[in-house]
Chains A and B, each alone.
Chain A
Amino acid sequence: MQPRGVSLDGGVSDSNFDLAVGVGGDAVNSGLQTAYQQHRDAFRGQAEKTLEGTDYTFAWDFLDAPSLALTPPDADLWGKMIKADGVTDLPDSGVLQFTAQQLQADCKVGETPLPQVTGKVTVALQLKLDGGGITALPLGAWLENLPDGPTSIIVKNVVVPALLTQGATLLKGLKIPAQDLFGQTVTLNLVRVDVIPTHLVLASTAAVGQPQAVRADDAVDWPTDKQVFTLISKSLLTTLLTATIKQYENTRLAKGDKTIQFVASARWDATFRRATNLTVGDDPTTASAGVDVDWHAELDLVPISPDGSGGCALSKAGHES
């Protein structure tokens, strides 16, 4: 069977995921700017390590807000990066770079401070799915100005590992918080993270939808002309709309009546019982549904004379028909 994941032209199909949220790189960086201003302390830190009886200390301070580039480092930069343990090749997806123009580094070997250095720093990370969450896997780091030689103990064992961890921590726990959508509680299970040059996209399946198997390797044509976008599958939409309609159950739709003076009065009313077979249209802003209507109609004979001889009318009606 043809997988329903992605159509052959690379377009989005309905069943990879139920909800995707894409955020443009400029918006992500604006978020980092805000975070930097509001949580300045999150951008300072210190790492210490004792190796062979010597204490090594690395204190860092980002003097300006770091930014993310949603692209892998070019071959030249990758070549210059000090790699994380076990990393040799640049992965082919999910790679982004965390860059700060001004990282101030204060290092000490034992009690002896090394000269303070300030310069540009770039950390390459790979975003990966990990048990319903996102893990940022550190790949490598490059510093414009090193506090000591590139192969020195402090750079290799303290500075680079601390920066890699910092970069990874920055994006750990990235998630879509949309648990209440259209008044329904939607439990989301992250199934895909895409790093494309313009956007960071997270896609989830919803417990209330009918997610199909996901083919995370297929390219998806995201609407990159939008700064922020949310895509909702027809399956999830159907579930959400069906649940929304429930609040209208047992609502009177309309009523009517008519009287023939001195003879009879008739009336009806129609109550919406429930919607059936709700279907989202080809245009997903449209939907149709069967309407299960509870109709009630009845007719009262009016007594012809005050003495209650209207019973005659009933029998007459019966006879005439």
Chain B
Amino acid sequence: MAAPIEFDVTYVPDPPVVTVKATGITDTALTVKVTDLDLQQVEFHPKTPLSDVLSGLANDLARAAPPIVKDKVTALSPDIPIGKPIGCDIPVGDATVHVKLASPELGSHGGMLMISGTADVS
């Protein structure tokens, strides 16, 4: 059987730009939502000259590609594990009191990401 005809693929813009937004936070994870993928156009350039009918097939496929990729990517909502709870340790003699951040909320303060909440003392 003949080897497949391969394509070079170009896209606009190059690279596509993805934007994300942190949408929520719990004690264990930060949820990030992919809000957009800027991918306007995909073109398949055959490495071997193609007939009109085959070019049409490739073009149809290339035209359909951006929304497929975009839909797939913008549906992503990965959770980033936080690891240890955020807080600070207050040593008292030989003992240590842990003040942890509970009921966390996302925000910003002075251009920095702010995670605020109430104190959970243990």
Residue positions of A touching B, CB distance < 8 A = 7, 11-14, 21, 23-24, 26-28, 30-35, 38-39, 41-43, 169-184, 202, 221, 223, 226-234, 237, 241, 244, 248, 253-254, 256-258, 260, 263-264, 266-268, 270, 275-276, 280-293, 295-301, 303, 310-311, 314, 316-321
Q: Which of B15, B30, B65, B92 has the most CB of A within 10 A?
A: B92
- Chain A's closest residue to B68 (CB) is A254
* A18: nearest chain-B partner, CB-CB: B112
- Asked whether B12 is an interface residue with its Cβ less than 8 Å from the other chain, the reply is no
Query: Which one of B50, B69, B73 has the greatest number of beta carbons of chain A within 10 Å?
Result: B69
Given contacts A284-B108, A298-B7, 15 further A-B contacts (CB under 8 A): A31-B90, A31-B97, A170-B91, A171-B90, A226-B117, A230-B114, A254-B72, A258-B64, A270-B65, A289-B18, A291-B73, A297-B6, A301-B2, A301-B54, A318-B49
A289: B residues at CB distance < 8 A: 17-18, 20
**Cβ-defined partner of B57 (8 Å) among A181, A264, A287:** A264
A268 close to B61 (CB less than 8 A): yes
A277 smallest CB distance to B (angstroms) = 9
Residue from B9, B53, B88 in contact with A268 in the complex, judged by beta carbons closer than 8 Å: B9
Task: Say yes or no: A42 contacts B95, CB within 8 Å.
Answer: yes
Is the pair B112, A231 in contact by a Cβ cutoff of 8 Å?
yes
State the CA gap A185–B87 with chains docked (Å). Answer: 15
B4 near A39 with CB under 8 A, answer no
Q: Is B86 touching A268 in the complex (CB atoms < 8 A)?
A: no
